Amino acid sequence: MELATLSPPRSPGVDSSCSPSDACTLTTSSVALSPVAKRPLEEVPCIAAIRRLHYNRLTVGDPKQDDLATLSEHDDSLFQEAWLDIGGAHNSYKVKFAVIRGTTYLKTVEPYCSYEFEQIFNFESNCANFAQDKVVVVRPSSS
């Protein structure tokens, strides 16, 4: 069976300062093709692949007053889903991210009972105080 690789389309409304050469890299999706007709086995809409954000070292903080003002000026649709990978950790966390005026914001999607995730978003042990859509700011010292 042959596989076709689909490149994810660029989403309108996404700040153009986030490109694959910045903090994020794009992955691709594959669709199985019929060996005879060279057409998709089932009709599925083209879905943008979820980005992977990889940091060797991640430094975050709570949004400051100017960050809150910036976020209030923009629509929530600016945030896109992504997988967050940090260093050599074996965990990936589904988050939402946005890059606005050169600043990267991360937002929670679902809880992960992991020390690393709890530290990133400042949650208590076992995500006891988990809050959907909690925002943190990625600091410039991250790499």
Report pLDDT digits (tens) over 30-55.
Answer: 334 444 444 444 444 545 578 889 89
Closest CA to 17 of 101, 133, 138: 101
Question: Which position has the token pair 């999607």?
Answer: 109
Condensed to tens digits (0 to 9), the pLDDT of residues 1-32 reads 333 333 333 333 333 333 333 333 333 333 34
- The rounded distance, in Å, linking the Cα atoms of 23 and 60 is 14
- Specify the number of domains making up the chain: 1
> Does the pTM of the predicted model rise above 0.85?
no
Helix residue ranges per DSSP H, 3-137: 65-73, 115-120
User: Alpha-carbon distance 61 to 47, whole Å?
Assistant: 32
Q: What is the mean pLDDT of the chain?
A: 74
C-alpha to C-alpha distance for 110 and 117, rounded to whole angstroms: 10
Asked whether residue 143 is assigned to any structural domain, the reply reads no
For residue 57, is pLDDT > 70?
yes
